[in-house]
Structure 1
Amino acid sequence: MPIPSSHVAVVSADPAFLGAWVEGLNSAAQSDPAGQGGSTLTFIAHNSAESVLDCAASDGLLQAIVVDGLLGADLDAFLQQLQALRAELDVFLAMPADAADIHSSVELLHRDESNYSQLLRHIGSAIAERGRTPFADTLRDYVYSAKDAWHTPGHSGGDSLRDSPWVAEFYHMMGEHIFNTDLSVSVQVLDSLLEPHSVIQDAQDLAARAFGANHTFFVTNGTSTANKVIVQHLLGGGGKIILDQACHKSIHHAVILFGVEPVYLQASLKPEYGFYGPVPRQRILEAIDAHPDAGLLVLTSCTYDGFYYDLEPIIAYAHERGIKVLVDEAWYAHGRFHPDLRPNALDSGADYVTQSTHKMLSAFSQASMIHVADPDFDEHRFREHLNMHTSTSPQYAMIASLDVARKQMSMEGFAQLSRCIDIARRLREAIDETGMFRVLSLEDMLPGELADDGIRLDPTKLSIDVSASGLNARQVQLALFEDYGIQLEKVTHNTLTVLVTLGTTEGKVMRLVNALRTLARVAGAGDESGRLPQALPPLSAIEILPRTAYFGAGDAVPLCSADYSLNPRIIGALSAEQVVPYPPGIPALVPGQVISREIAAFLLDLYRASNGIEIHGLLCEDDTPCLRVVAGSQPAAVTALG
């Protein structure tokens, strides 16, 4: 395997110090390869704070910075600037022996040290520490030791499949390591996800450092579970939660499971494209003022479409009133590792952050992390809540992928994301040049009521408007898949979403651009923008706790009458289900909510349209669409569910 190359910047305004250290360290690196922490280190001189800041903002090979403590600049301000640019870098401060100020955020070196081999090993050791994968390495070593398995799982390292005439094909398709890394809690050297104390805990500690948290927990059943764990931890005994109507369904499920009283915030909408954006800041602040007894505020940043909040003032406002803040960063695990993407939720003061590491980074599906910065955190109680939702038979390859994904971002996240941002820029230009397709800007996508809220757009998520082509988005999606072998992330009625991730290659870029150019040449010019999707109707009142409505007795009530018109008997009843049109995946009804005429008509129109939108939670009895309502919440006779 190739040995990575790394740069270390040395910054000083003292030519004698700078020359001696750079020459001495480079000479030591040439004569002591083992002291370089697993990479080839090159030390580069910088004679000013401005120069090294420019380097940090552009050099993807940079792994560490040695700062002369007598630089003359405001060291605290300079170190804060470095932290904002490249939080992952190892920073060393070369101080004289009689220095009065000790900067706890950096590692100290003696400014008069002349043993450059010792300095090299000190710097190399810090870089190597950041590049460790304690769990993944232990798993690899165990697999290669080829132990005989007399324990679960039953395939025993793939031995049950390998020679079978019936299922060997599956074994060979998946590869041997998917099976021999699928191990059991019986293998004690691999630690316990439920009660980690060695290599898993070590890996989680490295992740906390990388992502800027006080504590990090690995989750192997997705951010859906991570969100439920946090709601249970803070409000499992009941309480009030302020949440975005458009938040992930796992939050809505947690409200039901734990008997929480929800305060829903109406989602914003850009009807031209069917984009649901963040909740306007003023609406959030008003909800906080109206419900100072709330225990938790939940926000999604960034959204599926790439919108992310100016979080700091919102979080500060919630904290002033004693409200904890959970930010669902399922789509923004990469936000820590490039200055163009910061500040992220932890930078902005969030107490809890959930991330789907698998969505944008190099982890297996379902692999997620919980990051905690809550100053009142009760780790023992939290772990008990987490264990209620965690399998006692976790997938070890998934845990290893979290370890490796963290290492990659720690060591090359800045360089990789710089490449991704550049690819996204070039894609925008090439797609716009087709004349039929265009990548939407933030101004195009943002609902008008958010114009002054400081909302930003993740540049790695491209929303492509197909309206001018005369085709709808599903037609383009199908053509890309069937004719060009290209699978996209999602569509609205007139947009396609493309994700630029660490796995995006130049070949993929070329094929996507070529496909869109070809489609643009054969498409008939037209305007699909007039075919707007139905907007979700306004939120109606929630009369009883969602938990009470969901778990109580229910009746099935038809949406339409015998003449196929809207059934008046359903108006005013309380929903016993969460009813979610997908896309966009935002509940039109939650348990305990009044079924207004607008909501009932909206659902009936969607059902009749048969336009590919799924309506999760809608019942069909004898081909009649029905809603489950709280028993006795409407006066007319209904069909009992039993």
Structure 2
Amino acid sequence: MTVEGPRAYNTVWQMRSDAWCRLEEAAEVLTAPAEPQERERQVEAVAELLRHLTPVEPYWAFPGTLQFAKIARRFAAGDYSKFARAVARVNRALTTDSYRRGDVDDLSQEDSGQRGIGDFATGDPDAPAAPDRLYFEVLVVDSLTEEQERTLRQELRNWRRADADFVYELVFVGSAEEALIAARLNVNLQAVVIRRHFTHHATRDVSTLSDFIDLQLEDDLTGNETPDERASILAESIAHLRPELDLYLMTEIDVESIAGRLGENFRRVFHAREGMLELHLSILQGVADRYRTPFFSALKQYSQRPTGVFHALPISQGKSIVGSHWIKDMLTFYGLDVFMAETSATCGGLDSLLEPTGPLRDAQKLASETYGSRHTYFVTNGTSTANKIVTQSLVAPGDIVLLDRNCHQSHHYGMLMAGAQVVYLEAFPLPEYSMYGAVPLREIKSKLLALKRAGKLDRVRLLSLTNCTFDGVVYDPLRVMEECLAIKPDLVFLWDEAWFAFARFHPDFRARTAMAAAAALREKLQDPQYLADYQASIDDVATASDEDLLSRRLRPDPAKARVRVYATQSTHKTLTALRQGSMIHVYDQDFGQKTSEAFHEAYMAHTSTSPNYQILASLDLGRRQVALEGTEMVVRQIENAMQLRDAIDTHPLLQTYMRCLRTSDMIPEEYRPSGIGQPLRSGLRNMITAWGTDEFVLDPSRVTLSIGRTGYDGDTFKRDLLMDRYGVQINKTSRNTVLFMTNIGTTRSSVAFLVEVLVKLAREIHNDVEDMSLSERARFEQNVHRLTTPTATQPDFSGFHSAFLDPTEGIEQTPEGDVRRAFYLSYDDVACEYLTDAQIEERIDAGGDVVSATFVTPYPPGFPVLVPGQVFSREILSFIRNLDTLEVHGYNPELGYRVYTDKAIEIALADNRRRAAAARSEFVSAPAARATVHAAATPASAALADSGDVPTPSGESARGRRKARAAEPAEPNGQVGAAAE
């Protein structure tokens, strides 16, 4: 029998689960007759499995340290029959989760038939089990004897009530080191009780867990602290690792003073001799608070009330369906409850999404606490709308926005709606796989410094980036924001985390989320040591050139920098919510003073007055889920993704035709100072190192599979093989890759099914290749060569035509363009024409410019290759021509590309020159006066109307929606370091 060690796994959860399954099989074999030599091998196999389980079992309540010790003693005594029965009971309880329901026998009572550890009804061991109760575990940190542990456990059990909604069991550890181990390993934990008498280091050997844990307590504890100081430091460490856990402190002395000093680190502080009942009730209340779903509960209660609907929505309570002769199958398919909860009412216990004052307000507040934001808002029509809401609330006409060129199309539409002057940022290319990565920090800083030299930094408002990208490239938001604020202290950040909502609930991924980074940045700016470091660097920075500033890590002035961060998340994409359920998270120090009114106006402008209550309720429920089991689900998700990688990369046939791309394949070396090519697969410590130091890291929940050696392009492989033949659904492909995205709903069975499908396809391809004639083999090899050879250089943003560039003058020309003016010019057919790519190439060869009149967006992934006002290039045409996706928005296969006529560009250019002349004549030093010039500028389409060629587009009236920013006080030009002095 072969036994896999812990290094075959990335999480203890998976290793523990498999080890118990193998232990049951091995124990069963021990009960059968066998030759002495064979029996010796069987015994050694069981002993090896027990050695793997011994260091991890103390951190779970079931089967618990005492029960596991009894099982081990039966094995050591050679009582293999009882040993096998005990192992079978434990494994079945773990596999089916029946231990949560209380139907597991205590091993010590198996002969008498009494119930033990699994009985969660009351203190009465004969009371019936309560399968409907929700089970969790509580960690107690204290140096206790076995008898003291047994007494404390029984005391808390005695307080149980039969009508309680929740039931819990205790896990005991005696040291700070083990407390952190338990917090990382045991996903059943919901609360931690810290008592005064615990040690620093573990008394048992924990070295075998080094692949799964990386303890950060060594730098915090010296061993010389008072008991209260140790408790406070441990609480902070646990809160950093698992912020969702409720922390309680129990002390014997000076409890009133300690509560005043340490209360912010704990939910409650109790006196050890007086607080057992209060502790018990507080633990239950803490979980109940997170379990609460204000809006879902209100909607469910409303659905059970008889109503008379004399308003909208005939479908309410199913009344237009129940009596129908022709659509009763709708009721059969969806069920009655979904219609009982349909209503257009905003009262009667419900609430208004546009002006919440009741359960919706409470639900959003709970979401804010769970996601670590200052404010959270529910959105019922997707993150596309969430992006537009945030953009419109922050950006006014004439503001300059730095935008990732490869971001989702909703950002581009948001910019034109707001009237922003857009500076597009270039991501690093991956030509071997025909995809783009993320925007390097050096690229962002270079654009900010150029705008500073041009005297335009006061107009820079927003930086918008996608974290993480569709292909899984993750930024370091803390570093990006820190260095950008050193140049522009009041810069606002929008992080599109449509695909990254789950990361909040993984201990190692959380730091790279927008909300966690915002909180960490604010804490950093308030740190006295940071202020000292900043002041020590002022002189060096003051004399540095721009090139030096690009190469060094910059620090913002803590007296000037403001933490203003927004994140948009597609909850429905990576967590539990109905389709289009999204959230906006806000961590903005100036929200109430500068943005709240504009935000609520933008929210009302883009939000339906008839929102889908089912979506809102699902967001409320999804929040409950991640607040109570988010860590467990995300840890399992990552383990499933890693098992998928291992299954593909170690299969001999799959290795021939497919390969999972590594971090080193997706992120160039210059952005990985750690030098670690496969961070998670080389151990947790390596992953933590890479995620702490590298500019970009790779989301391990995504598996990008290189398929060039199959001879199929990505779209054909997806459509003809995976989807049509096997029903495997995926979204993103490139010329030679397909992307598999795991989520919290991914199961081991679904991973096994995908591996099975890939093996079948590889076997078919292999058999076909072996049967090919010479000519067929040559064509196949040509296809493989084409798909495995890097394409021509991927095109950068070719730039806006000068007719749409900023007309104001500075020290140097900067690249921001007026997408809005270019977009609305295309509303008039006379200004546009259609050209094929061949005709466009002819014009380019003749030295002319061809300017796009529309967004041209391949989908997926949904980011524009061309935007209105952008100049065509040969590289762009070649890139689009070689795309493997069939869906390209903005391109008409019969007519070609919609572009501006030469006459339209000529008039737009003349208009821009007039605007430039007006800007020069009226140019003054005050930024607000320059903003006035932008707000009052005449659109080029109006000049076309004056020429008699084109009528004025009615869309331009949208410019009047926002007040000119000229009325705002002038904001100072941001400076770097000592330049601000």
TM-score over 0.5 for the alignment? yes
User: Does the 8 Å CA contact 1:462/1:499 hold for their aligned counterparts?
Assistant: yes
Output one character per residue of 1:44-64: Cα deviation in whole Å (capped at 9) or x when no partner.
Answer: 222111111000101010001
Partner of 1:444: 665
How many Å apart are 1:516 and its aligned residue?
Answer: 0.8
SS in 2 for 1:549: helix
Q: Secondary structure at the match of 1:236?
A: coil
Aligned to 2:137: 7
Listed as ranges, the matches of 1:425-464 within 5 Å are 425-432=642-649, 433=651, 434-435=654-655, 436-447=657-668, 450-452=671-673, 453-464=694-705
Q: 2:842 aligns with which of 546, 550, 566?
A: 566
Q: In 2, are the aligned partners of 1:440 and 1:463 still within 8 Å (CA)?
A: yes
Could you say which structure has the larger radius of gyration? 2
Equivalent residue runs for 1:180-195 within 5 Å: 180-195=340-355
1:579 aligns with 2:859: no
Letter in 2 for 1:339: P
Which residue number in structure 2 is paired with residue 493 of structure 1? Answer: 735
The equivalent residue for 1:345 is 514
In the alignment, structure 1 residue 56 sits paired with structure 2 residue 270: no
- Cα 1:129/1:598, change in 2 over 3 Å: same
- Report the Cα offset of residue 460 of structure 1: 1.2
Larger mean Cα displacement after TM superposition, 219-228 or 533-542 = 533-542
Q: 2: CA distance between counterparts of 1:494 and 1:501?
A: 23
2: CA distance, partners of 1:3 / 1:533: 58
Partner of 1:97: 256
Residue 376 (str. 1) matches residue 590 (str. 2): yes
- Residue of structure 1 in register with 2:495 after alignment: 327
Conservation of the 8 A alpha-carbon contact between 1:216 and 1:369:
yes
Q: 1:23 aligns with which of 151, 162, 176?
A: 151
Bigger drift between 297-306 and 506-515 goes to 506-515
1:43 pairs with one of 155, 170, 173 = 170
Q: Structure 1: how far apart are the matches of 2:476 and 2:838?
A: 51
Q: 1:86 aligns with which of 242, 245, 262?
A: 242
Match of 1:474 among 711, 715, 731: 715
**Which has the higher mean CA deviation after the structures are superposed, 285-294 or 372-381?**
285-294
Choose which of 302, 317, 322 in structure 1 pairs with 2:483: 317
1:538-582 Cα shifts (integer Å, max 9, x gaps): 222334211111113552234349979533489424433222233
Report the CA distance between 1:361 and its aligned residue: 0.5
Query: Aligned letter for 2:332?
Result: H
Superposed counterparts of 1:256-335, under 5 Å: 256-291=416-451, 292-293=457-458, 294-320=460-486, 321=488, 322-335=490-503
Letter in 2 for 1:357: T
Aligned: 1:160 with 2:288? no
Using a 3 Å threshold, how does the CA distance of structure 1 residues 612 and 116 change in structure 2: closer, same or farther? Answer: closer
Distance 1:88 1:243 in 2: 33
Amino acid at match of 1:589: L
Task: Give secondary structure in 2 for the equivalent of 1:43.
Answer: strand
2:956 aligned residue: none
Q: Are 2:438 and 2:469, in contact at CA under 8 Å, matched by a contact in 1?
A: yes
CA deviation profile, 1:575-622 (whole Å, cap 9, x unmatched): 3322223344332222233334544x437x62xx695443322356x7
Correspondent of 1:68 among 186, 195, 210? 195
Moved more, 471-480 or 214-223: 471-480
Moved more, 506-515 or 548-557: 548-557
Contact 1:546 1:590 in 2 (8 A): yes
Query: d(CA) in 1 for partners of 2:765 and 2:838?
Result: 44
What's the offset of the Cα at 1:309? 0.7
Q: Give the direction of change, closer, same or farther, for the CA distance of 1:510–1:310 in structure 2 (3 Å limit).
A: same
Residues 333-386 of structure 1: CA deviation (Å, up to 9, x unaligned): 011111132212111116111100000101011100011110000234422221
Task: Say yes or no: does 1:422 pair with 2:639.
Answer: yes
Opposite residue 409 of structure 1, the aligned amino acid is V
**Which has the higher mean CA deviation after the structures are superposed, 452-461 or 293-302?**
452-461
What residue number does 2:866 align with?
589
In structure 2, the CA distance between the partners of 1:12 and 1:473, relative to structure 1 (3 Å rule), is same
Distance 1:405 1:162 in 2: 30
1:100-132 superposed Cα distances (whole Å, 9 cap, x missing partner): 623414222223342422220012101110111
Q: Which residue of 2 aligns with 1:623?
A: 895
Partners of 1:132 and 1:22 in 2: CA distance:
32
Question: Which deviations, in whole Å up to 9, do the C-alpha atoms of 1:67-96 show, x marking residues without a partner?
Answer: 225753644543332122111111122342
1:594-605 to structure 2, matched below 5 A, reads 594-599=871-876, 601-602=877-878
Give the counterpart letter for 2:503 in structure 1.
Answer: G
Q: 1:563 to 1:423 in 2, by over 3 A?
A: closer
Residue identity opposite 1:325 in structure 2: F
CA deviation after TM superposition for structure 1 residue 482, in Å: 2.4
1:519 CA drift (Å): 0.9
Q: Which moved more, 1:258-267 or 1:177-186?
A: 177-186
Count of matched residue positions in the alignment of Structure 1 and Structure 2: 632
Identity of aligned residues (%): 33
Secondary structure of the 2:618 match is: helix
Partner of residue 512, structure 1: 754
* 8 Å contact from structure 1 (residues 618, 627) kept in 2: no
Measure, in 1, the Cα distance between the counterparts of 2:150 and 2:388: 51
Aligned residues of 1:220 and 1:398 also touching (Cα < 8 A): yes
Q: Any conservation in 2 of the 1:318–1:325 contact (CA below 8 Å)?
A: no
Write 1 or 2 for the structure with the bigger share of helix: 2
**1:582 alignment partner AA:** Y
Gaps of 5+ in 1: none
The amino acid that maps onto 1:632 is: A
Q: Alpha-carbon deviations, 1:425-471, whole Å to 9, x = none?
A: 11111122132322211112224553444311111111111122233
Corresponding residue for 2:210? Answer: none
* 2:570 paired residue number: 356
Deviation at 1:296, TM superposition (A): 0.9
Structure number having the greater strand percentage: 1
1:570 and 1:634 in contact (8 A); partners too: no
Change (3 A) 1:155 1:641: farther
For 1:548 and 1:283, the matched residues in 2 are separated by: 26
AA partner of residue 387 (structure 1): M
Query: Partners in 1 of 2:571 and 2:285 — Cα distance?
Result: 27
Tell me if the contact between 1:21 and 1:116 (Cα under 8 Å) persists in the aligned partners. no
Structure 1 position 259, deviation (Å): 0.6
Give the residue type in structure 2 aligned to 1:407.
R
Specify whether residues 328 and 35 from structure 1 end up closer, same or farther in structure 2 by C-alpha distance, changes over 3 A only.
farther
8 Å contact kept, 1:26–1:43? no
Tell me how far apart the structure 2 counterparts of residues 564 and 249 of structure 1 sit (CA, whole Å): 24
Q: Partners in 1 of 2:139 and 2:902 — Cα distance?
A: 66
Alpha carbons 1:580, 1:615 under 8 Å: kept: yes
- Give the distance between the partners of 1:515 and 1:5, measured in 2 at CA: 37
Q: CA deviation at 1:509?
A: 1.9
Contact 1:25 1:117 (8 Å CA) reproduced = no
> CA–CA distance in 2 between the matches of 1:76 and 1:365?
42
